[in-house]
Structure 1
């Protein structure tokens, strides 16, 4: 099995040792020389034939062309049904910190990945792939398989029937996030490994040979973060005592100071049975009411987020199909009690073969009056994702609209900046991969298209006028008599 050195591994005969080779990459924690690379792991299903490939020599970083060569060799002989697990971020340190290093296998968060590598006849571990190359891995696979990628989840895959003779590229996006506590990253990676296990189990029931790849879009660790971790006692001591009180308190304090400097605060989190259920975050949250033909605005940001937050979540609830987040305030625009209610629901849609959640309504409740805004037409995302939008308002390019012309909502305005919400499938207190509201055709793109169209029309008109020009068919000879052109001609 392969042991890893920055940024390479040495081959050892035992196939089961390939996964454990990732754990010997500890020197990177102090040197910080591998902060621009991501690992890539490739294996085939049990019993599938594939060529054995060896990683490059020590000190070599796999580029885009060399990675394409590895993939081409694997797909020429191996199965052409490809399962790509594409994580948002990943570095080799994620394996050394959370993979059960130093023989602590009970602490590993990658049991399904390790089992798949052990059962494969020809696994390949590339610990140092330049992240631009890993970012382009979908395009390389698409060119080699001559098929378009299908973005899937385990629930959708169970309804799909694959054919061994027809190539397929199945892409599973996996999140990655680190909160105020380092253990949150461990929980996210453990959840991703569970998704990998579910997908491999479904593929096994279909009895279709496949080639699996696990990589990321960009590195999760930077040289600065590695040096900070080294300052906490070095890579090995951090691994051995990552559950210790002192290290966790130091990390939390560092995160708190960084958040204060950048004015970043934690999201509003509603928990049910000690597990996160609903998350809400916004850079700015405000409401306005029309009085005496003028809009009176009240900023709710400081009352909702940060250390000075006074908001209460009484009345909030959630289950598998519905979620309701209630923000309770006091003394807002002259009202003693004021509530902002986000009502969400999720359901299964047969056309897309997946579950989606919608923000059905945003309600303002004050002194027994309810002002209701409808958001179900514009605010929606896959059930396992969060929803994010730079601006969610009810007055300028509105995504929230009053329920009716007689609803009290017509006297109110709501405005959320850098808005993000998730009411289902929350894991570890962190947002899942965000579905952004930004459309493909932005105002700038529309302006460019209209300008180009106008220029094309002007050019077409000019060419048409030039083509209508005709030369004279009669010429005056100065030596002869003048040409007489009758007026009737």
Structure 2
């Protein structure tokens, strides 16, 4: 049975390799925009077989939603999502034993799970924006919030087949100069997958498992270079060629980053700049007919030759407001994105702080308001920066009330930085990052260490209070008489 399973997965990986070669030959799609997605159910659980896409077809967000809906409507609604930071189809062809070296595979547990499942789906090419939003899609379909878990705490969670659950396990990915570094990380991730699936089997709860990534791990430049050097098998034998590709990949990445740098949005009161805003991506989405329709505001806000309309903006010493005016956004002729900020002195910290009080969307005489003052704040002399500011994934922005129109909207700011006070020139001040230094683990370690130090100090203090007796009994003489008053 094990040999049959191994040969079958080898066929799957071989088809993936054929798909990759077909894409390279056609040159019609960009390989750096896709990630694979694998879906399967637990042992003994069957769901309707879904036809795989045609070779070379890229799964978009709408089609991926259709696949997930069909799998969850008729399959287990306890979902185990293995979300890797980066992954591409080449990770399977290079490290999955696709060329016959099955003993060197980095995915033994994943292969076993796929072979033991009667319902599995392999999507070799999913557009990475669609895979990046897979948590939100699953959250909408299951009508439950995601639980970010680790294998050690999974055994403490109570699960049942009647109540849906979305369990998310984040997996790392790193690629250095050493060829084995990526394989070792993927092998470690496969061990995590095996540990989680073993715990789920012990709990006897049916589940649907999904394995995908947030973004691709390979770039089109490196793929074209591989094709020019004679294919994947020869490169696996040439360590120096791999390092050259890594250097070229890093150089291309820096060129792209340099080309993507643009000036921040700048609002001036007179001759002085008082508000600065920068983001790698600004997007909004609205829920219509059960679907999220997204609009990217970045090209209309940033870039060379782009001058966003800022009428309605204002600033003073205590309050500032940045208004970005757009046209024809998701069917609305007039659309405004408003950032309302304030600053005041806090007696406890003895300094002034500024907060992003609200992010508002104004359209068709309607206002959707998100409160952000609890999560988005910084010292008044600093700017605020965060890798991601959203209202749906690790939300820093929350709707004002349950009936607010903001519940129908999603906002997403990537690599976000803003400063509304004490701006000097046209550059941001020192950034206060949203990633705190003291995590829960650090606090637990500090408190445990403090407790141990207190116990040690108390013990030393008690030892130091011991005194040696100044009189001793002589067995040949009379007994010592100690008066009670002494």
Normalising by structure 2, what TM-score?
0.49
TM-score w.r.t. the length of structure 1 is 0.48
